[in-house]
Structure 1
Amino acid sequence: MESSGGVERAGSLFKEFAIEPRCEACLSTDIKHHPKSRLSGSVIYQCRQCGLRGLSTRPLMEDLAEFATTYDRDRYAEWVSITRTGQIDRDHAAVLDRINRLVGPKDDRSLFDVGAGSGGFLSMARDAGFRPAGNDLSNGAVDLARESHDIDLMLGDLADIDDPGQHDVVTLWCVLAHVPDGSTLMRDVLRVLKPGGLMYLQTPRWSAMDTMGMAAQDVARGRATKITDRRLGMHHMVLHTADSIRALLERLGYEIVAVEPHVRYTLTTASYLESLGFNERWRRRLGKPIDGLLDRDLFFRNVLDVYARRPLDS
């Protein structure tokens, strides 16, 4: 990705840079740009080869990092309060069990969680015998991790952490979509992994729901954008497919272990529906049946779980 000197967009808090006219995952130049959202002003590009969709202009990482410092402890705790904490704990436990099996027993196993938030996953990893480490851009997250779990996170971007080849496992729970340059982030992850070390990431997936939303935006020439604006914005700058995440990681030198779609919604149904503009009456009416589908694993598969390794000879 190359800077274009800053692209100002209506509704944006930041100066932005334009993505090169090629896919950031597979590097194909077979790109389609969808109509600009009349609400947010954003333009979504689509790679016709690997299926990745992403914002065509994005904020600078340093601006995002500065913005993250505005999230103090109370503001971050407020966000945590609308998450599905029970479901998140179950997902964390299932992933950690698989990581345990893939890494195997060894002395002094280190697990680094990128964007570790309030430290819940690292606390669980510590209980499973890993030496916990991690970082976050938010002062509020660092404070909560210390207060809630006695976990000391590093404050700052992974690129600024001098920890080469030190960790058996590096995890990223919904971090890749939040950064403007995923290739740089994943190179930094590879840098801090030991040779043969395991990387796990969860990232938002382009699903059938997104395809329907994109079709509506195309037909309405940028007017019907509730779904696409909710799924792709400053909070999610890319939505990967299985093909695109494989292309990205293999290009950077990872050995893929598994790529799997899952139904996994972090926020409560009421919070999602409110973000889509539904009033309280419709949130009550739709919430229960959607929760029922989620409980039975029958809703849109909205995330990818990815396991990959740093090659032993790298």
Structure 2
Amino acid sequence: MDHEQIESQPWPQEGLERVERCPICGEVDRALLHDGLTDKIFFCAPGRWSLYQCPTCGAAYLDPRPTPATIAMAYSDYYTHEEGDDAPKGRFAHLKRRLRNDYLNARYNADLQPAWKVGRWITPLLGRKRKQIDESVRHLPATGKPGVLVDIGCGNGQFLGVAMQLGWEAWGVDLDPKAVKTAQKTGATVIQGGFPDTGLPSAHFDIVTLSHVIEHVHDPLAALREAFRVLKPGGHLWLATPNMGSFGHVRFGADWRGLEPPRHLVLFNNNSLEIALDGAGFIDIKQKPCLAQAAWFYQSSLRISRCQDPYDASASGLPLTLWIAAKLVDFRVAVSPFRCESIVVTAKRPESD
């Protein structure tokens, strides 16, 4: 079935549910933000979708939306089970990898190879590059003995492999059986499970990571409470999700890559995410820099606006003016991260509840 046929097919009526109030703060009032949205990313989900925004907290949500029993239809051509590669790309990739590895070796007492011994001194001088590397390992703490972490929605397990190389005992959870099978190749403990129904032990983990997962779940508050439950007292949550307040959303509107209907059910800005985390019991909520994402989001959004595959590697790059705009955005959000394409936050479970 081609793209036009997919778009013209309605989602089964019996597979829809209504969302009559904001999933984050419970507000009934709302404003229609985008109407007639379709799956222009994987071209596998039928239906047209309406996205509403809460005037109280700023969260956005689909109404109606797929039920938990039918949402799998939207993932028939998803990418989570494919094997990944986080090695640096482009010019001087080998040099970048050596510098990155030595920086991480020194920071985490690891033994990543190949490594160039000056990386531990050069990389900290390259402020943006250092922050990008820290973000790539999800700001794992470098002090003390590595503990136990779980990546909920681990996909192909790429991050689990990195965490294990840095000395962490790594667990993963994913709903997709193909993703679980791929992630298990890393040697991590990976189980098939949902979210919030993970089946994980209580108060077991030092770190819980959620990388672009929370926007996919029907009940984000229950999901965050589950993350709270499995953390040890004093443990930390790391979370990344698309930012409804980003410059990219303002520029591209309904074609912004972060919308991804109907897989993204609830979307956040900084305010609504903080409300959700606070409601789940987390403290010490801190926003982290989210760097060098604008060009990727802008290129994907531009292709979406042209009804092109946003993952088509053979497609042309950004026009010069848009590339410059994306680079300027990256510099701006390095200083003020509240307009980043994604929100990255850490939060803590209190030492005593």
Q: TM over 0.5: same fold?
A: yes
Change (3 A) 1:49 1:38: closer
The answer as to 2:280 corresponding to 1:252 is yes
Q: Deviations over 1:12-71 (max 9, x none)?
A: 3681211132x2223333422346327653111111122222212222234335865x56
Alignment of 1:37-76 (within 5 A): 37=36, 41-64=48-71, 76=81
- Deviation of residue 262 (structure 1)? 2.6
Checking the alignment, whether the CA contact within 8 Å between 2:81 and 2:180 is kept in structure 1 is no
Larger Rg: 2
AA aligned to 2:153 is: G
Which of 94, 98, 109 is 2:139 aligned to?
A: 98
Task: Give 1:142 deviation, angstroms.
Answer: 1.7
Equivalence for 2:18: 18
Q: Does residue 305 of structure 1 match 2:344?
A: yes
User: Within 1, Cα distance between the matches of 2:342 and 2:70?
Assistant: 26
Cα gap change, 1:261 to 1:205, in 2 (>3 Å): farther
- 2:35 pairs with 1:36: yes
Task: Identify if the C-alpha distance between structure 1 residues 155 and 212 changes in structure 2 by more than 3 Å, giving closer, same or farther.
Answer: same
1:239 and 2:267 are equivalent in the alignment: yes
AA at the equivalent of 1:53: A
How many pairs were matched up?
283
Pick one of 122, 126, 137 that aligns with 2:160: 122
| 5+ long unaligned stretches in structure 2 | 1-7, 39-46, 90-99, 101-128, 333-338
From the superposition, tell whether residues 191 and 65 of structure 1 become closer, same or farther in structure 2 (CA, over 3 Å). farther
**Partner deviation per Cα, 1:82-113 (whole Å, 9 max, x = no partner):** xx8648x9888413373214xx314x610100
| Paired residues of 1:261 and 1:302 also in contact (CA < 8 A) | no
**Aligned equivalents of 1:20, 1:268: Cα separation in 2:** 30
**CA distance 1:256–1:105, shift in 2 (3 Å):** same
Provide the rounded CA distance (Å) in 2 between the counterparts of 1:192 and 1:112.
9
TM-superposition CA deviations, 1:239-291 (whole Å, max 9, x none): 211111001110121113302463436968765543332569x9526366655
**77, 85, 102: which is aligned to 2:82?**
77
Question: Are the structure 2 counterparts of residues 237 and 38 from structure 1 closer, same or farther at C-alpha, using a change threshold of 3 Å?
Answer: closer
Is 1:286 paired with 2:318?
A: yes
1:65, 1:137 within 8 Å by CA — same for their partners in 2? no
- The equivalent of 2:304 in structure 1 is 275
Residue 236 of structure 1 and its aligned partner are, at CA, apart by: 1.9
Secondary structure at 1:201 match in 2: strand
Root-mean-square deviation (CA, aligned residues, Å) is 3.6
TM-score, scaled to structure 2: 0.67
What is the TM-score of this pair, normalised by structure 1? 0.75
Which amino acid letter does the alignment assign opposite residue 272 of structure 2? Answer: S
Question: 2-side partners of 1:117 and 1:20: how far apart?
Answer: 31
Residues 151 and 291 of structure 1: CA distance in aligned 2, closer, same or farther (over 3 Å): farther
Change (3 A) 1:66 1:274: closer
Q: Distance in 2 between matches of 1:75 and 1:130?
A: 22
Whole-Å separation in 2 of the counterparts to 1:258 and 1:38: 32
Q: Is the 8 A contact 1:93 1:124 kept in 2?
A: no
Is the CA contact 1:26–1:50 (under 8 Å) kept in the aligned structure 2?
A: yes
Q: Specify every segment of 5 or more residues in structure 1 that has no aligned partner in the other structure, as ranges.
A: 1-8, 215-224
What is the alpha-carbon distance in structure 2 between the residues aligned to residue 130 and residue 92 of structure 1? 20
Question: Is residue 294–residue 327 contact of structure 2 (8 Å, CA) maintained in 1?
Answer: no
- Return the alpha-carbon distance in structure 2 between the equivalents of residues 38 and 157 of structure 1: 26
Does residue 176 of structure 2 align to residue 138 of structure 1? Answer: yes
TM-superposed deviation, 1:204: 0.4
**Distance in structure 2 (CA, Å) of the matches to 1:283 and 1:171:** 32
